[in-house]
Structure 1
Amino acid sequence: MLPGNHLHLKDVLQSVSVLESVVLRSFGPEGGQVLFTRDTGQAMLSRSGIHILTALRLKHPVARMVVECVSKHSTLSGDGSKTFILLLASLLRMIHSKACKDTDASHTYNSKDASYAATARHLAEELLAFGLEELDDVIALGVIPYGDRLSWEGYSQKIQLPAHRNNVCAQKLLASFYHSRLGRTHCDFMSNLTCELLTSWKFKHSQPTLFFQFVNDNFPALHTAVVGFPVSCSNLIEGQIIHRDFATPCPQTDKQPAKAVVFLGYLQPKLLNAGEVLELGCGEQEKETSIIQFKAWSERFLASIIANLQCLGVSVLLSAVKQSAALIALAAQADMFIVECVSEDELSLFAQLSGAKPVSDCWTIKPEHVATLTFCRPIVLGAHRYVHVGFHSEESVSIRPCSLVICGLGEGQTDQSAGAIQDAVRMLLTAWEPILNTDHQTHGVPVFESGCVIPAGGTFEFLLNHALLRHGRNCSVSVDTNMGDPAVSQLLANAVLSVPRQIYSHRPRCFLRAQTGLLTCIQNYSHPVSLVHKGDDNSNLMQCQGNSEHPPEEGKGSMHSYRETYMSPKYLMLNLGLESVSCKYQLLLAVLQCISSLLQVDAVLHTHTLLCKQSRRLATISSEGSEDED
């Protein structure tokens, strides 16, 4: 039997606590960068939670399982890896405390371990069931009414923004994201650059999710990393940049119009059918003559292909593979330009933008395979030279194709910026996806609309904590058994507060003031009021110029005084942005699913030890050459 050991909740909590101690160093608006050094001496500096977690050399299978769950969630939503670990550790501690309390009160010493594990597993299952069945209703009632709907055109349900402030809410949402990923210095610049990129790729009369998904799917072909320049040099360039150089002499810049063909195969003559054999002769002289004849015939074939392309007006050939030297020489003589070994992603994007169909048979090239380009020329970015193409614009096309140039002083910085931009697009894609279908509406609960946002800085957690506690009280006095377990609501309500506690860990009094002020404002209003404050261009969200140091009197609280007193820079000293409610909801579900999976594990089998011993034993047997060993 394979050696193994029983997996206790304390072991799981210990592994998650170690991961928590690592990510907390870069968590929140005042978190720092984490420096890693590889065996090669290369250093990596990052604030990205998923980059930090995946860079760790983890041996414990539980830790690797947790990082895998975080990685899957981050790949889908683009955000929340550090908050994932923080919520996971907080929930595990509370499950551990409650399981210990319930076990000590009702079981004997001999049955404590089994009862403890069963209680912990039951709590995890109840939490997951609550998250899947009731959490959306709780958020819809207790959080959504205090947020606002984000619109890519720059307006909300309540206030129409002027044209020069288009996408101001999206910029605030992105700035908050980049603040936690790249730091305070470049967050505004990167948010504006991302908005400009997405606006350029916006399809006419389409939902934001469509062009968000397009940019996310084609991001490897849409961006170019340039090392040796400041981040502020990053910009957008019209057209598409193909990350290869011309195999033939580069075209002249004054020769702007061009027609291109995407060829997926190797241009060569079709010699024989399947099963046929090419005979080159018996003697050496006949064989040499046959080879010369074949060479001349193949050159005539390639020349006919080039002539056919010229008849179609083709002057650029984009090839997925490397072509022969004979073809390149003939193309150079015909003033035709060849780009070899173009990646599949770039060819796919070129085909989508040009409307031309790729071709794999050189004899079947037709006009529908020919793309019209406004220009095709070399471009030098950093230390590399690439091919830069522009597409023929039509009135029916609403997008403005462009490529993103990401600059950085080193490879690590450019890779970090590129990963942050793609994750930001994924975050926006998740933010615009409605949580509930429009035809699904239970108990009169309002539907989760796409693009719902809430001010950052713990506002979502404060509101959800209040809503969960209220839901638990309703469950305890209700005769309806479908309302759920009040203990589960209480446990989740306490766990979500771990996020704002870490945000305000350097200013504990601000945590209490922000929570108290928000609850006072909610209790003094019978109708929901949006917490997303939109002032003039110089004002920040949730920020006023009030200098009051005392909370509003009981019964006199207002949203204005709440912003002035509790959310002013004097107390928070944070440039608060926005957070997506959909991203927060998906994060909570992912954490609850991870906890349920972790607590379903009974034992860990160390198979690698046995395999290593067997490998060493087989190596010994092989080296000794013994036949007597079993």
Structure 2
Amino acid sequence: MAAAMAEPVPELPRLWQEAAALAGAVRGALGPRGGRALLLRPTGEAVPTRDGRRLLEALRLEPPAARVMAARACSHRAATGDGAKSFVVLLAAVLGGLRAAGGGAGLRRALRAFEAQVLERAAARGLRRHWRTAPPGLPEARLEALLEPYLAGRLGPGERRRLARLCAELCRRCAPTAAARPEALRLLARRFAALHAAVPGLPLASSTILPGIVLRRDFAAYCPAEGELRALLVTEPLQPALTAPGVEFVVDSEGQYEASLRWITRRTEALVKHLQSNSVKLLLSSTKQDELVIYYAQLYGVSVVECLLSEEMALISEITGVSPYAPFGDDMYREITETAVASFCQPLLLGSKRCVHIGFTSVCAFQPHCLILCGPVDGVNEQHAAALQEAFTMLQQLFKTVDQRGECKAEGESQNKASDVCSWDSSPTQKQIVVENISCNSNQVSECQLKALSDETETKILAPDKSSSLVDKQKSYSTAVLACNADTVTACELLDVGKGLEKTCCNIVPFKQEESCVGIAQDHSSSLIEAGSVLPVGGYFEILLHYYIQYYAKQCQQSEVAVVSNVVADALLSIPKALYRTTELDSFTKFYLKAVNSLRKNQPLPGNKEGLESVYCKYQLVVSVLHCVTELLSIDLIIGIKQPVQKIEDHDSEDDF
């Protein structure tokens, strides 16, 4: 029997305490000015990193709710390629605000009503007039503007510039036309493991891009051939077996055994000759072939590459449209039609390792190229490869849209109508969470426990965050400034912040001449976030969304929704506060006041030439955090299972009656 025990659901103060501890563990590595953590592996290798997912996975988290928070942050990161550290920081700020506001019984429903009514309106009517839609196909310059700030949160200054250029160039070469860019990004994100080769011991500047793909195996048999050649994919040994699996083969004498070997030899030679007669010059195998197959392949001029990884075989099948060949059966000598066409096939020396370099003719718009990624040690190469793969995942999000659930109300309509009251009809489903292999207790978990180092697997050493007191000071100051001036701002100032301006914001995102909210609601009634929407990086999204949430919160007649709106609006400022932590005491305060004053005066936002970020990714971050908060507040019972539950089968017997 499985021993289990239950404990009460964590209350809001305890949830905030656990989230704040997680935020304290990752806040020091947030943003381009963040520090690095040092992960010590069991092998003794020390790997510096700023990756939020690695930091969260390195923590030894005992509290079930904290484990849920870390899991949701990593899930969001896997889906969008970005935001694990920002997720935790924003989550802690939202829970802290709800705790300070004294959340009531209707808090969960108010959170959902806020998302459907206030958040969507703030994005559809407010953010829309500030973002800019990226040109179709994402030109290389725009790719670098998106990639460099993304990599700045994970890598050093010299690394991020070089890798951003390599990443943009790889996208351009794999997708020469704009129409092929979405498909190229999808393949680069899914198949990046097979589209790059790491070379340790060389500087990053030696990295380059080669046409075709590089297989990290040497030739088992190499027969040089010029011009185009046909390649065959196989996933099983070509040497025939004497019997089928599970069938016993009995040999009565040595003569029978030798006759069996001669039959295998003749069969193998006939099969290789059949490949040659069908103009097959290259054999790509996911399994290791017998020495007899290699011998006859060399004899008949067929090159062989064996023991290919599943990712490499899947990539080749996807770009060539060829399925693996099954040689055995009654029709073994049938004509071989499913072969890939390779423009070249040659050995390649990467560092001290011999590889195979093949140029395939693609049947889709994606043109295969391979990134040769150089670095001083394997650990650094792993970090660079992981950052680039997630960067391609992030770029995929630019082509996605978000549809509105609630109908956007025109500006001229009365704000006292019943349709403008925030409400939510569905009631949240009660949930319970089962946490296996842990021992649950009701004691509060301290921040030190959440920051505990991983047990003999990875150890985290992170520089302390020197801005905690400054963040609290700036939060109270900025909130007070906004409260003093909120009543004096008219609807026109809030909704028409970009009207009539022909200047550009930061020379990157121009303020377009906007029509009224009526026109916006009519033209974009079904689209909340348009594909390709970008904003300047560095806290602009959070400031803008904070600004517009506070305005639309005033239209809600439900007090709980208004409270949640103000909590989320203030929590959004926690991210730019962490980004602008410097030795200058009023760094964030200056940035915040300049941005808000520019909005009120219909002026471009303060200059920022550090790059762009996806509006879709940032919006999904806010939504994911709200869903995580709702899930945490919906937990009714936590059950800790010390042993796996045994499956009990129900068998009827005479004793049962």
> Which TM-score tier does this pair reach, normalised by the shorter chain?
0.7 to 0.9
Relative to the length of structure 1, the TM-score reads 0.78
1:453 to 526, 529, 534: 534
Q: Does residue 487 of structure 2 align to residue 521 of structure 1?
A: no
- Relative to structure 1, the CA distance from residue 440 to residue 271 in structure 2 (aligned partners, 3 Å threshold; closer, same or farther) is farther
The Cα shift of 1:382 comes to 2.2
1:409 to 371, 376, 379: 376
Correspondence for 1:50: 53
Correspondence for 1:267: 238
Asked if structure 1 preserves the Cα contact closer than 8 Å seen for 2:107 and 2:560, the reply is no
The Cα shift of 1:277 comes to 6.4
Asked if structure 1 preserves the Cα contact closer than 8 Å seen for 2:272 and 2:300, the reply is yes
Asked if structure 2 preserves the Cα contact closer than 8 Å seen for 1:218 and 1:349, the reply is yes
Deviation readout 1:55-101 (Å, 9 max, x if unpaired): 222222222211111111111100011110100000111111111xx
The Cα shift of 1:593 comes to 1.0
Q: Does residue 453 of structure 2 align to residue 486 of structure 1?
A: no
What SS does the corresponding residue of 2:260 show, helix, strand or coil? helix
Asked if structure 1 preserves the Cα contact closer than 8 Å seen for 2:210 and 2:370, the reply is yes
CA distance in 2, matches of 1:511, 1:365: 73
Asked if structure 1 preserves the Cα contact closer than 8 Å seen for 2:217 and 2:306, the reply is yes
The residue identity in structure 1 corresponding to 2:257 is I
Structure with higher helix content: 1
CA distance in 1, matches of 2:36, 2:261: 62
Asked if structure 1 preserves the Cα contact closer than 8 Å seen for 2:137 and 2:177, the reply is no
What SS does the corresponding residue of 1:369 show, helix, strand or coil? coil
Higher relative contact order (CA closer than 8 Å, sequence separation 6+): 2
Correspondence for 2:340: 371
**For structure 2, which runs of at least 5 residues remain unmatched after alignment?**
410-519, 647-657
The Cα shift of 1:262 comes to 0.4
CA distance in 2, matches of 1:593, 1:239: 43
CA distance in 1, matches of 2:406, 2:327: 51
2:318 to 352, 355, 366: 352
Correspondence for 2:418: none
Correspondence for 2:76: 73
The Cα shift of 1:276 comes to 7.5
- Relative to structure 1, the CA distance from residue 125 to residue 234 in structure 2 (aligned partners, 3 Å threshold; closer, same or farther) is farther
CA distance in 2, matches of 1:316, 1:449: 46
**For structure 1, which runs of at least 5 residues remain unmatched after alignment?**
100-115, 155-165, 282-286, 526-557, 569-574, 616-630
Deviation readout 1:128-183 (Å, 9 max, x if unpaired): 342245423311211121111112545xxxxxxxxxxx432221111110111112
The Cα shift of 1:225 comes to 1.5
CA distance in 2, matches of 1:589, 1:258: 51
Asked if structure 2 preserves the Cα contact closer than 8 Å seen for 1:262 and 1:319, the reply is yes
CA distance in 2, matches of 1:440, 1:304: 69
Relative to the length of structure 2, the TM-score reads 0.75
- Relative to structure 1, the CA distance from residue 215 to residue 405 in structure 2 (aligned partners, 3 Å threshold; closer, same or farther) is same
Q: Does residue 141 of structure 2 align to residue 168 of structure 1?
A: yes
1:584 to 615, 618, 641: 618
Asked if structure 1 preserves the Cα contact closer than 8 Å seen for 2:319 and 2:364, the reply is no
Asked if structure 1 preserves the Cα contact closer than 8 Å seen for 2:230 and 2:282, the reply is yes
The count of residues paired between Structure 1 and Structure 2 equals 524
Q: Does residue 304 of structure 2 align to residue 338 of structure 1?
A: yes
Correspondence for 2:19: 16
The residue identity in structure 2 corresponding to 1:231 is L
CA distance in 1, matches of 2:22, 2:213: 41
Correspondence for 1:258: 229
Asked if structure 2 preserves the Cα contact closer than 8 Å seen for 1:4 and 1:606, the reply is yes
- Relative to structure 1, the CA distance from residue 440 to residue 2 in structure 2 (aligned partners, 3 Å threshold; closer, same or farther) is closer
Q: Does residue 197 of structure 2 align to residue 224 of structure 1?
A: yes
1:5 to 7, 17, 22: 7
CA distance in 2, matches of 1:39, 1:357: 41
Correspondence for 1:595: 629
What SS does the corresponding residue of 2:346 show, helix, strand or coil? strand
Q: Does residue 88 of structure 2 align to residue 85 of structure 1?
A: yes
What SS does the corresponding residue of 1:237 show, helix, strand or coil? strand
Q: Does residue 142 of structure 2 align to residue 195 of structure 1?
A: no
Correspondence for 1:128: 112
What SS does the corresponding residue of 1:41 show, helix, strand or coil? coil
Asked if structure 1 preserves the Cα contact closer than 8 Å seen for 2:118 and 2:552, the reply is no
Give the ranges of 4+ consecutive aligned residues of structure 1 lying more than 6 Å apart after TM superposition.
273-277
The Cα shift of 1:390 comes to 1.0
* RMSD of equivalent CA atoms: 2.7
CA distance in 1, matches of 2:616, 2:299: 59
Q: Does residue 131 of structure 2 align to residue 147 of structure 1?
A: yes
- Relative to structure 1, the CA distance from residue 184 to residue 367 in structure 2 (aligned partners, 3 Å threshold; closer, same or farther) is same
Q: Identity over the aligned pairs, expressed in percent?
A: 28
What SS does the corresponding residue of 1:143 show, helix, strand or coil? helix
